[in-house]
Every structure is written in C-alpha cells, then in structure tokens.
Amino acid sequence: MKRIAILGICGNMGSAITGELLKEKDVEIIGGFDRVHTGQDIGLYLGINASGSRIYGSLADIKELNPDLAIDFTNAGISLKSIDWAIDNSIDIIVGTTGFKKDELKLIEEKANSAKSRVFIVPNFSIGAVLMMELSAIAAKYFESCEIIELHHNKKKDAPSGTALLTAEKIYSVKKFTGQRLGSEEKETIEGSRGAFAEGVHIHSLRLKGLLAHQEVIFGTTGQTLTIRHDTLDRLSFYPGVILAVRAIDSLDNFTYGLDKIIDIKGGGK
C-alpha cells in the first residue's frame, strides 16, 4: 500500500485526481497540502464520504504523516520548493506542474541524482497527448515546415505550455526546421505576430474561456499539410497517466522527465 500526499489538493487538477485515487485499493491518500480549506476532511471537501485524511497548511505537517510519495499539482514557483522538500526528506515525488525553465530542470536533475528519492516530472499526464508528440516526431522528417498551436483555458499561467515546448524538443531531435524566428523576407507589422519560437518551431498560444487543453501540430510541404491534433475535454482524461506514474515510480531512476518514459510507444514492450 503506497501512502500518498497530494500537494495543491484544492486546485482543479488536485481535486479531480484525488477523487479517483481514493477509489484505488493499492494506494492510500494520507493527506493533502493547500493554503485553503485546511483542517477539512478530504472526502468531505470533495463531496463524497469522509476519508479520515485531512488538508494541511504546511509541508512540515505532511512530513509528519510519513508519505511514501507526493504528487504535486501546484504551480512552478511553489513546485520548486515542493521538490526540494521531497528530496531533502527522501520522499518520492511526481510533479504535474508545468512552467519550469531549462536551468531549473537541470538543477532539479542534479539534486535528484545525488539523493535517495525519485523525481518524476510529467508535463502532460494525457496518454493521448504523449502519442501526439511521438507521432509528430515521426512525421517531422517528411515535411519542410512545422508550427504548433496550443489552446488552453484562460486561467493557465504559463505560455507556451509545457506540452508545446516538449513537442518542439521532440521534433527538434529528429529535424531542425529553421534556425531563426523570422525568415529573410518576413516582417511583422505587429511585433510577436509570428508567435514564440523554440527548437526551430513557431508556437502560438491561445487562452480562451471554454477551452481546457488542446494542441495542433501542423506540418507542411509541397502541395500538402498534415495536422496532428489532441483535445483534452475533461481533467479525468489525465487520470490513467497519473495512476500509471504512481505504479511505475518505484522502477524509475532518480530523475525522469515525461510520461513517454513509461509508455510502450512502439508496442513491443518497454
């Protein structure tokens, strides 16, 4: 039985995933961390039966519960502190937060590799999104141009999304489309109209009420285009990836980045 603490339990993701984890027989939710609803029973907060576990307002309180694993659904600023706390206390942590900078990830990796706990950072728990990224990497070598459009709800704090950046990295590992954001004959009449630029790929971020999480990767070559699109319509779509990560954490290295590391992408066994 794996004893789990949820960090950021009162957020949209934290609440949705906790409700599903409470149904599992091989894990136990022993507590949650948040700045609101402290002291409240987790089950009653979620509108279900009392769970016997509470929401706490400090990580020190969580440490007293002796968790095997923490799952972080906070934000990039708080999450960095959560990761340091987990490593310092030899607690494994799965991080569903996005918005980390490359140098921050490098520091996390270095610290994790010299510690006893495992850090598993997952920019997107959706298995469909992982397949979208892998298919994009396959398609890249057959086309001459590529751009990414990522669409999210208007409360998302980071742009571009972690998924879009990871997609660009995976494409870049196969093919670099261009080394500069603007072509030699291009001119922006409004600055930024060609979007962001990462790993040779333009990325365009939309933030609209009514959306959840969506991404299109559009490839072009002579006489044809190819669009690979993934749509997340409900936060529960992330749950299969979360429970997969929970059950795989014990077999991982000290630092792992991306759900693709534990998915049998090619169908022949990991």
Catalytic site positions: 152, 156
Give the strands of the sheet with 69-72, arranged side by side.
55-56, 27-33, 2-7, 69-72, 92-95, 119-121, 255-257
Query: What distance in Å separates the CA atoms of residue 54 and residue 42, rounded to the nearest whole number?
Result: 5
CB 119 within 8 A of CB 112: yes
Question: Closest by alpha carbon to 69, among 99, 42, 115, 30?
Answer: 30
Residue 120: beta bridge partners? Answer: 94, 256
Query: What distance in Å separates the CA atoms of residue 237 and residue 245, rounded to the nearest whole number?
Result: 14
Query: What distance in Å separates the CA atoms of residue 3 and residue 58, rounded to the nearest whole number?
Result: 18
CA distances, 166 to each of 76, 124, 161, 185, 197 (Å):
16, 10, 9, 29, 13
What per-residue string of b and e applies to 224-242 under the rule 16 or more CB within 10 Å gives b?
eeeebebbbeebebbbebb
Quickly tell me which residue has 């398609």 as its tokens. Answer: 139
Please provide the DSSP assignment of 82-142 as one string. Answer: HHHHHHHTT-EEEE------HHHHHHHHHHHHTSSS-EEE-S---HHHHHHHHHHHHHHTT
